[in-house]
C-alpha cells in the first residue's frame, strides 16, 4: 500500500504565559491510500492540532508533513489553498454550509472556487447528492435540513472535487447517536467504494470502530495504534 500522508517528528509548541505547552510532541506516522484512519484522543490531547497541520491550517514548530508527495509545512498560504482545492476535502463538526445557498449549490461550492462552469458543477454536485442519498432535498436550504442531512451535504461537498484525501473533524460531534451511526456508515461506505483516504479526528472511541486503523493520541504523543481492518479481515478469514 502506498503512503499518502507521512508525518515525521512533528512538534508543535505553544507559549501560554511563561510556560510552554507541547501540543504535539514528536509525532510520526503514516496514512496509506484508501485507508480510513481515525485519530482518537481526549480534548486537549493534540488531535485537532494534528489534523490542522495535516491540512496545512497551522504551521508546525518542527517536523515534516508530506501529503500526496508535497511538503505541506513549506507551502505558502496561496499554494495551500490551491493544494486543498485539488487534493483535500473537508468535513466539519458543525457542517459549515452556506446559509444562503441550497444543498446543490453548497455541494458545488468547491468547484465554484475552482472556476468550473455552472452547468458542469451543478451536474457533479447533483451526482454527489445522489450518492449520499439526498435526492429529495437538493433544492433545500441548510436550515430546512436536519443535522444528519446537513452533514450528508457536507460529505457530498467534501467529495465533489474528487479529492485524494478527506479530513473530518469530529464529523458526528453535533449529531445524536442514531444519525451519527448513519453518517459514519455512509463515510465508511464511500471510502471503501471510491477508494479514498479518510482521516477523522474524534474523541469518541465508538466512532473509531468504523475506521480501519485507530491512532490514539495522549498529550501530544501517539500511544497506541489499532488495526481494525486487519482484525476484521482476520475474523472473516
Q: Give the interface with other proteins as residue ranges (CB under 8 A).
A: 48, 51-52, 55, 57-58, 77-78, 81-82, 84-86, 89-90, 92-94, 96, 98-101, 109-110, 112-115, 117-118, 157, 161, 169-170, 173
Nearer to other proteins, 52 or 197 (CB): 52
Nearer to other proteins, 123 or 192 (CB): 123
How far lies 118's CA from each of 15, 45, 122, 135, 142, in Å? 46, 42, 6, 19, 20
| CA-based nearest residue to 28, from 221, 232, 229, 233 | 221
Ramachandran class of 44: left when φ > 0, alpha when ψ lies in -120 to 50, beta otherwise:
left
| Minimal distance, residue 48 CB to other proteins, in Å | 7
| Minimal distance, residue 141 CB to other proteins, in Å | 12
Which residue do the cell numbers 446537513 mark?
150
Q: Which residues 6+ apart lie within 8 Å of 135 measured at CB?
A: 129
How far lies 190's CA from each of 24, 36, 105, in Å? 30, 10, 21
Nearer to other proteins, 93 or 180 (CB): 93
| Minimal distance, residue 214 CB to other proteins, in Å | 21
| Minimal distance, residue 232 CB to other proteins, in Å | 31
Nearer to other proteins, 58 or 64 (CB): 58
| Minimal distance, residue 109 CB to other proteins, in Å | 6
Nearer to other proteins, 142 or 148 (CB): 142
Nearer to other proteins, 73 or 212 (CB): 73
Q: Give Cα 222 distance to the centre of its chain.
A: 19
Set of cell numbers at residue 19: 510556560
| Minimal distance, residue 66 CB to other proteins, in Å | 20
With residue 21 as reference, give the H or E element that holds it. Answer: strand 19-32
Amino acid at each position: 500500500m502506498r503512503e499518502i500522508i507521512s508525518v515525521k517528528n512533528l512538534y508543535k509548541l505553544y507559549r501560554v504565559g511563561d510556560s510552554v505547552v507541547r501540543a504535539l510532541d514528536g509525532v510520526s506516522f503514516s496514512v496509506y491510500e484508501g485507508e480510513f484512519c481515525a485519530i482518537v484522543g481526549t480534548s486537549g490531547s493534540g488531535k485537532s492540532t494534528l489534523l490542522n497541520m495535516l491540512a496545512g491550517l497551522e504551521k508546525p514548530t518542527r517536523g515534516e508533513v508530506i501529503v500526496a508527495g508535497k511538503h505541506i509545512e513549506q507551502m505558502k498560504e496561496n499554494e495551500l489553498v490551491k493544494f486543498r482545492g485539488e487534493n483535500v476535502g473537508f468535513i466539519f463538526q458543525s457542517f459549515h454550509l452556506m446559509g444562503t445557498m441550497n444543498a446543490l449549490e453548497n455541494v458545488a461550492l468547491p468547484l465554484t472556487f475552482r472556476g468550473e462552469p455552472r452547468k458542469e458543477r451543478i451536474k457533479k454536485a447533483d451526482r454527489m447528492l445522489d450518492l449520499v442519498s439526498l435526492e429529495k432535498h437538493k433544492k433545500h436550504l441548510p436550515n430546512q435540513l436536519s443535522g444528519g442531512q446537513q452533514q450528508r451535504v457536507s460529505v457530498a461537498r467534501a467529495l465533489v472535487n474528487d479529492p485524494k484525501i478527506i479530513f473530518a473533524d469530529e464529523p458526528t460531534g453535533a449529531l445524536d447517536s442514531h444519525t451519527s451511526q448513519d453518517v459514519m456508515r455512509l463515510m465508511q461506505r464511500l471510502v471503501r467504494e471510491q477508494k479514498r483516504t479518510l482521516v477523522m479526528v474524534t474523541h469518541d472511541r465508538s466512532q473509531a470502530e468504523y475506521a480501519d486503523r485507530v491512532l490514539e493520541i495522549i498529550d501530544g504523543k501517539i500511544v497506541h495504534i489499532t488495526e481494525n481492518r486487519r482484525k476484521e479481515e482476520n475474523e472473516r478469514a
